[in-house]
Amino acid sequence: MTVTCRRGDPIDYSVNPAQDWSAQVNERGSVEVEVKLRNDSTTIEVHATCVDGEPRTEVSEKSEDD
């Protein structure tokens, strides 16, 4: 996942999951996006926002073993 921010512009992002992974994208307005990446045993959630023209991300990971 890549995220680009420019002041005054909507968030620009791209998601290209690796083989055997799927992606679910949820846009939350023009400056925020949430992405869930999943494979058979792991889910990774990425929350990205633009703050003062800079990308900010939070990442969490959950496996079936958790």
How many folded domains does the chain comprise?
1
- Domain that includes residue 54, residue range: 2-63
- Tens of pLDDT, residue by residue over 33-60, are 999 999 999 999 999 999 888 899 999 9
User: Could you tell me the pLDDT band of residue 66, with boundaries at 50, 70 and 90?
Assistant: low
Distance CA 37, CA 45 (A): 6
Burial class (CB in 10 A: 0-12, 13-18, 19+), 18: exposed
β strands within 1-66, DSSP E? 2-4, 12-14, 22-27, 32-38, 42-51, 54-63
